Amino acid sequence: DGGITQSPKYLFRKEGQNVTLSCEQNLNHDAMYWYRQDPGQGLRLIYYSQIVNDFQKGDIAEGYSVSREKKESFPLTVTSAQKNPTAFYLCASSEDSSGYNEQYFGPGTRLTVT
Amino acid sequence: GQNIDQPTEMTATEGAIVQINCTYQTSGFNGLFWYQQHAGEAPTFLSYNVLDGLEEKGRFSSFLSRSKGYSYLLLKELQMKDSASYLCAVRLINTGTASKLTFGTGTRLQVTL
Test B103 with A44 for CB contact under 8 angstroms.
yes
pLDDT (mean) for A59-67:
96
Asked if B5 contacts B103 with a C-beta cutoff of 8 angstroms, the reply is no
Q: Amino acid identity of A64?
A: Y
Q: How far is B54 from chain A (nearest CA, A)?
A: 17
Q: Is the pLDDT of residue B96 over 60?
A: no
Q: How far is A82 from chain B (nearest CA, A)?
A: 21
Asked if B30 contacts B106 with a C-beta cutoff of 8 angstroms, the reply is no
pLDDT reported for residue B30: 84
Residue in chain A nearest B47 by alpha carbon: A102
Q: Is A43 on the interface with B (CB under 8 A)?
A: yes
Q: For chain A, what percent of residues have pLDDT higher than 70?
A: 96
User: ∠ CA B32-B37-B41 to the nearest 5 degrees?
Assistant: 135
Contacts B95 to A, Cβ<8 Å: none
pLDDT tens by residue, B51-76: 999 999 999 999 999 999 999 999 99
pLDDT (mean) for A11-26:
94
User: ∠ CA B40-A32-A95 to the nearest 5 degrees?
Assistant: 105
